[in-house]
Amino acid sequence: MPELFTVLPPHEALHKLFTHLTPRISTETIDTAHALNRVLAEASIARSPLPAFPRSTMDGYAVRASDTFGASEAIPAYLTVIGESPMGSAPTRSVERGETLIIHTGGMLPDGADAVVMIERTQKTTDTEIEVMRAVAPGENVLQVGEDVRPGDPLLSIGHLLRPQDLGGLMALGLTSITVARRPRVGILATGDEVIDPYAEPQPGQVRDVNTYSIGGLVERAGGVVQAGGIILDNFEALYEAAKDLLDRSDAMVLSAGSSVSVRDMTSDVIAK
């Protein structure tokens, strides 16, 4: 009576395999722009503050908050408009008592100002004067220096899977390169006299190679690099040489088929050798 073929459940097989493996992680430094779905190999630390300057969160007017105290629709505060805070550069004028500068969302707060009045809370009386119809507190509608991130703050930890928003955050801080784990190279070998290339027309008794592409898709989805070794006939020496060559240039290898108990199933013997 032939020997029965027994297998382990996947989780038990993996546990048994991993007890014989030593983790080995190699790293590489790549452009942050190309690091989506890569795994951090070094913790990232902020080198500069974000924002790097006090920024307005609203379109409106940069003011000294104390100039607006008590302002209401019934009794507005009147401020003199002395210019505009330019986008993309530092203001050339400071705000003194009773003065204001036009400012846009993301614009740099001028010296002397400590708050921003939303444009919806104002009304122009002349080209150089506005009414402020609601008081603001110091710091209102303003992002302060380092409010999001301060120099030395930890950003992302080792083992973090980089997401689109992570790339944007790193770029905002000028971290244009990052150290990540090198993607594992996974060799895939399909076996069987009956298996043919999917682009070929199968003859009676032949089937197209399915496993190389299914397994390859799983490898890529998991972040690995596929190294397809082709289709190997049911010949021990041919399979051994192909497997040895592929494993020499891969971090891991998957052998498809040839793992039952017939005379043509020689995968375990190849692995043992």
What is the mean predicted confidence (pLDDT) over 147-160?
A: 94
Query: Average model confidence (pLDDT) for the chain?
Result: 93
Which of helix, strand or coil describes residue 262?
Answer: coil
> What CA–CA distance (Å, rounded) separates 269 from 197?
25
pLDDT tens digit sequence for 106-153: 999 999 999 999 999 999 999 999 999 999 999 999 999 999 999 999
**Spatial CB neighbours of 109, under 8 Å, sequence gap ≥ 6:** 53, 54, 55, 56, 62, 85, 91, 103, 116, 142
pLDDT tens digit sequence for 246-256: 999 999 999 98
pLDDT tens digit sequence for 172-194: 999 999 999 999 999 999 998 89
pLDDT tens digit sequence for 188-233: 999 988 999 999 999 999 999 999 999 999 999 999 999 999 999 8
Which DSSP letter does residue 219 get?
Answer: H
Pick the CATH number of 55-143 from 3.40.190.10, 2.130.10.10, 2.170.190.11, 3.90.650.10: 2.170.190.11
Pick the CATH number of 28-47+154-181 from 3.10.20.30, 3.90.105.10, 3.40.50.300, 3.40.50.720: 3.90.105.10
Question: How is the chain split into domains, by residue range?
Answer: 10-24+183-272, 28-47+154-181, 55-143
**Spatial CB neighbours of 98, under 8 Å, sequence gap ≥ 6:** 67, 78, 79, 80
Structure pTM? 0.74
Structurally, at CATH architecture level, domain 10-24+183-272 sits in 3-Layer(aba) Sandwich (3.40)
